[in-house]
Chains A and B, each alone.
Chain A
């Protein structure tokens, strides 16, 4: 049973560029959340998608946007990259009806902005 799959695992971008990160949730899960984890910090919530709509959003600027597809996979887009966007981006999936059981996380995408 495949868990949460994220791609790519690493990438390097230049300031001002745009980036798209991808996430395939665990089989049977319908909710996808994205987190940003800066070096030495705990993950911070970016947003959550359910039924192809953004349901909840953390304190992140509009440069961060996302999408959820009918197969529940999701994308995170970041425009006009800043050096401060360098971080590990984690995707987590869950079943809406069973969110209290926690989330399954992927191994993340390490984004470096130079």
Chain B
């Protein structure tokens, strides 16, 4: 069974600075998807960024980028130029590649605080 581990329960960053959230996972599959979701106090899970395991290039979405290390099974999220609105819970998630294997496996999350 696949597992996702987020070893940082809480992180803090100064506004406009850069922060990196860590995520490791365990799987025996060679093809899969990885996601970072943001959950603000409104409770809705918002997709931040996704990565397909067969792509070597790291995904980037504006101020958000990932460092995907397939051999090390590591998938960290870097937030540049942090903004107050980035404060939230961040969840790393794994999904198998097969079409019928649709469920997401989440880590326990990292609570990010942004200081003005």
25 sampled A-B residue pairs with Cβ under 8 A: A33-B104, A35-B104, A41-B109, A42-B91, A42-B106, A44-B106, A45-B105, A55-B100, A55-B102, A56-B101, A88-B43, A90-B45, A92-B45, A92-B104, A94-B102, A99-B95, A100-B33, A101-B50, A103-B45, A104-B47, A105-B37, A107-B43, A107-B44, A108-B44, A110-B43
Give the docked Cα–Cα distance between A59 and B29 (Å). 21
On A, residues with C-beta under 8 Å from B are 31, 33, 35, 40-45, 48, 55-56, 58, 88, 90, 92, 94, 96, 99-108, 110
Mark each residue of chain B from 64 to 99: 1 if its CB lies under 8 Å from any CB of chain A, else 0: 000000000000000000000000000101010101
Question: What total of chain B residues lie within 8 Å of the partner, measured CB to CB?
Answer: 27
B52 at the interface (CB under 8 A from A): yes
Total A-B pairs in contact (CB under 8 Å)?
A: 66
